[in-house]
Structure 1
Amino acid sequence: MIVLGYNGFTRGAELFGRLYGATGVGRNLLVGHDAAAALAIDGEVVAAVEEEQLSRVKKTSDFPANAISWCLESAGVELGQVDVVAFPWRFSPTVAEEMIARITAADMPVAAKFDALRRTGELYTDMLSREAVYGDFVRRTGHALDPNKLALVPHHLAHLMCGAYLAGGDDAAFLVSDGRAETLSSVMGELRDGVVRLFDEGTVDMASSLGVAYGRITRYLGFVPNNDEYKVMGLAAYGPPPQHNPLLEHVVRLHENGSYTLSIPSDIGAYYALFDDLFGGDSEKREEFDFRVKVAGLAQHMVEAVTAHQLRALTAASSLDTLLFEGGLALNCVANTKMLERSSFTGMEVSFGASDPGVAIGAAVYTAGLRNLPADAVTTPYLGPSYDERQILDALAQYADRVEWQEEPDTSVVAERTAQLLAGKTVVGWFQGRAEFGPRALGNRSILANPAHPDIKDIINLRVKHREPFRPFAPVVLESEAPRVFEMGKKTSSPYMTFVFPVRKEFQERIPGACHVDGTARVQTVDERQNPALAELLRAFTARTAVPCLLNTSFNVAGEPIVCSPRDALECFLATEIDCLVIDRFVVTKKSG
């Protein structure tokens, strides 16, 4: 059985811009963002890529025409051979009726209700309905899809199935929490023997979305909501834990069944006024670093308190030992670690597709039928495009007036040569194999550096990434070495940078470039099976330097997608102060002058 999953709407940005006044990248961040495609054959995901990596439009919500074409081509499949096309949103007539009812019941003038109904009606008819989704697919692909082959999968179920598949398909309790799905923002329950059971009493309406609340504070602090929340998470570490939190006192109400209610107005001016009142802010204070740190700390504390409340209810209702956490909130790796360590769960999994890129995988897996993976199966995030030697040489030839390169004989020599470069302050662009899927660079499209240098973060933030100086970087470490360097708690591995761990005191001075201001690090563990090239490099680097990890950040600059092709890598290399580029077996340097 061949199933194609995808996420994205052709008219999303246009409609949200015209109907709701969204501007800039914000037009892509409401529904359908992180457009992507994934292909599952006989229950196994064989290809997946985000549209932004191919179109080079960051956070695009457009129909993923390029991603679909690549997935099919990479597997040698034509659209006519696809058995089911799975889409991770189901705005059914019942959901539409609920949308209408919410508007008519709202406390607003009659004229405002008619306006809201008009805009919602146009959005539903032109974008969200089954007919609109089907028409969009046919127009953009040119393929007359049998309407019966289109499967609409509820958004939160697609999130869950992505996590369940990548965790091996075993039984687990689950929590899904994001900005919004069709009408809800968070659900919890159990997955047993492939059957999903929702705990209805723990569901949270999208009007009380924790993700949206965090996003509004993100905007209040001058960042882009639904995009820059990780900056707020990083800022929070610069201050002490709050002694009291006005958000929990005045905005959040926790209910005994594990649900909660959040009271934040939707109008920007209104919630800015609310936050100014709660935090003691104004337009000038919002520019001050210490004030931003304080507010970020309160927002982070709110997330941790609310998710802990949800877990208390979930553990009371489920006897299962493992937790699956998916959705945009699951990218809050600081909260993830605290959730696990403070709960009775013995294990917790957060996938590399936890946010909306993953729903393309989840929709495909759900439609194909989730099945338990063999115990020796290798789950991999490296599902995107790769490039052969001829393609790499062709790209290098196009830049021959600006770069020079040396071809190494094999991977072991590449590892030794790269380790030699990294032993100093050399910043290396590392481009190997298939592109990783999801928002994190996991070692195939990465910028690497030596974390032993205290100023390496400043060098990369300012001279390479062109981003805020407070932003931390993640260390990548061999899985076998990780417990020696980091306090891993209940975790034995962290392959997708979805957990944060304290750096052991004896290593904090040895890897200062990988330590955040609070002495923690967002760790990526690597083993030989999942990424042999990166594992070989880590062994060579540690043997040469006695430094047990490398600093790893995404191969891009602020505002750009992670590089995908050799040409992307060369463009980024030449536009930044990256010192050296390693593409497959080719070590590339810039020509002087």
Structure 2
Amino acid sequence: MIVLGCNGFSRVSEFFSARLGATGINKHYLLGHDAAAALLIDGRLVAAVEEERLNREKKTTDFPSRAIDWCLEEAGITFDDVDLFAFPWNWSPRILDEILDGIRASPLAEDAKAELMGSMTDLFDQVVSHEAMLADFEARTGHRPDPAKVRFVPHHLAHATTGYYLAGMKDAAFLVSDGRAERFSTLAGEIRDGRITVFDDTVTGAQHSMGTMFSAITRFLGFVPNNDEYKVMGLAGYTAPPVPNPFTDRLLRLHDDGRYTFAEPLRTDDPHSHDALFEEYFGPFEDTLAYRARVAAAAQEMLNVATAHQVRHLEKRTDLDRLLFEGGVALNCLNNTPMFEGSRFADLQVSFGASDTGITIGAAAHAWLDDPGTGPADILAAAVEPVTPYLGPAYDDAAIEEALAGFDGRVTVSRLDDDEVVEQVARLLTEKVVIGWFEGRVEHGPRALGHRSILANPGFDDIKDIINTRVKHREPFRPFAPLVLEERAPEIFDMGRKTSSPYMTFVFPVRDAYLDRIPGAVHVDGTSRIQTLTDEGTPRLTALLRRFTELTGTPCLINTSFNVAGEPIVCTPTDALNCFLGTEIDYLILGNHLVAKTESK
């Protein structure tokens, strides 16, 4: 069975811009961001790529026409070969009616209600209804899927299935939390033998969304919502939460059934609805590190308290000992470690596709698991093969050399064998240099996981500032993640009950003996968001780290995404060369080619 999953809408950005003023800093406060496509064949994930990597528009909401074309081409198939088309949204007429009922019952003025109800009805008719989505698919691809082959998967169930599929399809409890789905922002339940049970009393409406509240705080602090929340996370490390914390003491309300609400609900039609409240809590906005850090630390504590409350309730509802955490809130790695350590669960997993980048995988997997022809033996067979994040396009030597020819005179190139790549790059990294690392298939998800990375030596005190200012062009308070061998990670970091963190989804304290040995990878609060490596997962990068450690005694490397602020992670060799020449990256590895800049005459 062949299943194609896709997420993205041709007109959603235009619609939100015209109707709700979602432009500029509010641009990504939208439905359908992180457009992507994924392809499953007989339960095996053979291809997945985000549209942004191909159209070069970060967090694009556009219909994923390039991503779909690439997935089909990678598998050597056409639309006629596809058995099921899966979409990670299910905007039914009943959902629209419930949304309209909620607007009618809101405290908005009557004229504002009428305007908002009209906008939501038009959004449904023109963009997100089943008919609108199929019409969009046909307009952009030239193919009209047979309705019998189409599956509209509720957004949060797509998230839950993403986590389940990528964790090997073992029975697990789940918690999903994000900005909003069709109507809700968070829910919890179980997945047993591929079948999902939602605990209905855990469902929380969009007006009490922790993801949207954190985005509203992100916007208030001057950053781009639904994009820059990690900046707020970085700022939170610069100070302790205020005591008392107005977010936890006055805004957040915890309920006995495990849910939480806000004392002042969000107005999802107004991205600035809480700005005045934030200033009441913290005083007029100040463009200073101290002010931003104080608000960020308070917001982080609120998120931690709310999700820990949900998990405590979930522990009482399930006898399963594995927890999957999915949705955009799950990318808040400052929350994940204490949430897990404070729980009774034996393991907590956050997938590389936890945000909306992964819902096409989840939608496709849900359609496959829900098909009558898929039985326990099929699930077991598919689960045997591990799923890696390296699911996108790869480029062979011929493609790399063709790209290099376009930069003739601007770069010098040395062709190396595999062992020479590891040896030469390890020796280069003993110095204060920055290296672009490009190999294999593009990673899926928002974090560089070793195929499109920027690497550096964390042993230098000022290397973080060098990368932030000369390469990434981003704020100086932003930390960098260290790569570490999985078998050595507990020696260097206090990992508690965790033994691995391959997707940079957990933050751990750095042990005292290593604080001065890897200063470039230690945040101001003495922690690091780590990526653990194994020989099976990333063999060449792991070999590089082993050799670098032999040469220097330093057991980590800095790893950050191969891009500059505001641009997607590079995909093609040409993308990599343009980024290399547009920054102060010192060297570039393109497959087995070591690239340097030609000296200016």
TM-score, normalised to structure 2, is 0.96
Aligned to 2:474: 467
- Greater shift in the superposed pair: 246-255 or 107-116: 107-116
- 8 Å Cα contact 2:208-2:266 kept in structure 1: no
Q: Which amino acid aligns with 1:278?
A: Y
Q: CA deviation at 1:144?
A: 2.7
For residues 145-192 of structure 1, give each alpha carbon's deviation from its aligned partner in whole angstroms, at most 9, with x where no partner exists. Answer: 212222100000000111111111001111000000011100011112
For residues 176-219 of structure 1, give each alpha carbon's deviation from its aligned partner in whole angstroms, at most 9, with x where no partner exists. Answer: 00000011100011112222111111111111000011111111
Seen in structure 2, the aligned counterparts of structure 1 residues 375 and 58 have a Cα distance that, compared at 3 Å, is: closer
Seen in structure 2, the aligned counterparts of structure 1 residues 34 and 367 have a Cα distance that, compared at 3 Å, is: same
Q: CA deviation at 1:11?
A: 0.3
Q: CA deviation at 1:316?
A: 1.2
Residue 324 of structure 1 aligns to a residue whose secondary structure is: strand
Q: Which amino acid aligns with 2:135?
A: G
Partners of 1:391 and 1:220 in 2: CA distance: 44
Partners of 2:261 and 2:355 in 1: CA distance: 22
Aligned to 1:46: 46
Residue 324 of structure 2 aligns to a residue whose secondary structure is: strand
Aligned to 2:234: 234
2:536 is the counterpart of 1:529? yes
Aligned to 1:308: 308
Aligned to 1:386: 394
For residues 25-64 of structure 1, give each alpha carbon's deviation from its aligned partner in whole angstroms, at most 9, with x where no partner exists. Answer: 6334411000000000000111000000000001100000
Which of 277, 281, 284 is matched with 1:282 structurally? 284
- 8 Å Cα contact 2:158-2:360 kept in structure 1: yes
For residues 314-355 of structure 1, give each alpha carbon's deviation from its aligned partner in whole angstroms, at most 9, with x where no partner exists. Answer: 011111111100000000001000100111111000000000
Seen in structure 2, the aligned counterparts of structure 1 residues 58 and 479 have a Cα distance that, compared at 3 Å, is: same
Residue 521 of structure 1 aligns to a residue whose secondary structure is: strand
Q: CA deviation at 1:291?
A: 1.0
Aligned to 1:354: 354
Seen in structure 2, the aligned counterparts of structure 1 residues 269 and 49 have a Cα distance that, compared at 3 Å, is: closer
Residue 27 of structure 2 aligns to a residue whose secondary structure is: helix
Q: Which amino acid aligns with 1:495?
A: P
Partners of 2:82 and 2:273 in 1: CA distance: 48
Q: CA deviation at 1:235?
A: 0.2
Aligned to 1:551: 558
- 8 Å Cα contact 1:378-1:529 kept in structure 2: no
Partners of 2:157 and 2:312 in 1: CA distance: 22
Partners of 2:522 and 2:571 in 1: CA distance: 28
- 8 Å Cα contact 1:242-1:301 kept in structure 2: no
User: What does 1:330-345 correspond to in 2, within 5 Å?
Assistant: 330-345=330-345
TM-score, normalised to structure 1, is 0.98
Q: CA deviation at 1:243?
A: 2.7
Partners of 1:5 and 1:268 in 2: CA distance: 30
Q: Which amino acid aligns with 1:485?
A: I
For residues 512-562 of structure 1, give each alpha carbon's deviation from its aligned partner in whole angstroms, at most 9, with x where no partner exists. Answer: 001001111000011111111111111111111111110000000000000
Residue 475 of structure 1 aligns to a residue whose secondary structure is: strand
Partners of 1:269 and 1:425 in 2: CA distance: 44
For residues 385-418 of structure 1, give each alpha carbon's deviation from its aligned partner in whole angstroms, at most 9, with x where no partner exists. Answer: 000100000000100120010001x211100010
Stretches of structure 1 lacking an aligned partner (at least 5 in a row): none
Stretches of structure 2 lacking an aligned partner (at least 5 in a row): 371-378
- 8 Å Cα contact 1:189-1:196 kept in structure 2: yes
2:437 is the counterpart of 1:437? no
2:156 is the counterpart of 1:148? no
Partners of 2:311 and 2:349 in 1: CA distance: 14
Aligned to 2:374: none
Aligned to 1:398: 406
Q: Which amino acid aligns with 1:13?
A: S
Aligned to 2:373: none
Partners of 1:129 and 1:375 in 2: CA distance: 33
Aligned to 1:185: 185
2:385 is the counterpart of 1:377? yes
- 8 Å Cα contact 2:330-2:355 kept in structure 1: yes
Seen in structure 2, the aligned counterparts of structure 1 residues 56 and 301 have a Cα distance that, compared at 3 Å, is: same
Partners of 2:487 and 2:342 in 1: CA distance: 25
User: What does 1:97-176 correspond to in 2, within 5 Å?
Assistant: 97-176=97-176
Aligned to 2:61: 61
Residue 211 of structure 2 aligns to a residue whose secondary structure is: helix
2:289 is the counterpart of 1:271? no
- 8 Å Cα contact 1:379-1:530 kept in structure 2: no
Q: Which amino acid aligns with 1:402?
A: R
**Aligned residue pairs: how many?**
589
Partners of 2:443 and 2:266 in 1: CA distance: 38
Partners of 1:150 and 1:197 in 2: CA distance: 22
Aligned to 1:81: 81
Q: CA deviation at 1:575?
A: 0.2
Q: CA deviation at 1:358?
A: 0.5
Aligned to 1:411: 418
Partners of 2:491 and 2:301 in 1: CA distance: 29
Seen in structure 2, the aligned counterparts of structure 1 residues 241 and 105 have a Cα distance that, compared at 3 Å, is: closer
Q: Percent of counterpart pairs with the same letter?
A: 55
- 8 Å Cα contact 1:332-1:498 kept in structure 2: yes
For residues 270-313 of structure 1, give each alpha carbon's deviation from its aligned partner in whole angstroms, at most 9, with x where no partner exists. Answer: 4211111111x214x2x121111100000000000000110110
Aligned to 1:21: 21
- 8 Å Cα contact 1:14-1:27 kept in structure 2: no
Aligned to 2:483: 476
Partners of 1:111 and 1:243 in 2: CA distance: 41
Aligned to 1:495: 502
Q: Which amino acid aligns with 2:284?
A: D
Seen in structure 2, the aligned counterparts of structure 1 residues 413 and 294 have a Cα distance that, compared at 3 Å, is: same
Q: Which amino acid aligns with 1:39?
A: L
Partners of 2:495 and 2:147 in 1: CA distance: 49
Aligned to 1:217: 217
- 8 Å Cα contact 1:475-1:552 kept in structure 2: yes
Residue 219 of structure 1 aligns to a residue whose secondary structure is: helix
Seen in structure 2, the aligned counterparts of structure 1 residues 206 and 27 have a Cα distance that, compared at 3 Å, is: same
Seen in structure 2, the aligned counterparts of structure 1 residues 587 and 198 have a Cα distance that, compared at 3 Å, is: same
Partners of 1:240 and 1:554 in 2: CA distance: 28
For residues 208-262 of structure 1, give each alpha carbon's deviation from its aligned partner in whole angstroms, at most 9, with x where no partner exists. Answer: 0000111111111111111111100110000024332111222111111111112
- 8 Å Cα contact 1:88-1:154 kept in structure 2: yes
Q: CA deviation at 1:264?
A: 4.2
- 8 Å Cα contact 1:159-1:358 kept in structure 2: yes
Partners of 2:534 and 2:90 in 1: CA distance: 38
Partners of 1:108 and 1:538 in 2: CA distance: 58
Residue 434 of structure 1 aligns to a residue whose secondary structure is: coil
- 8 Å Cα contact 2:168-2:384 kept in structure 1: no
Partners of 1:465 and 1:223 in 2: CA distance: 16
Seen in structure 2, the aligned counterparts of structure 1 residues 562 and 501 have a Cα distance that, compared at 3 Å, is: same
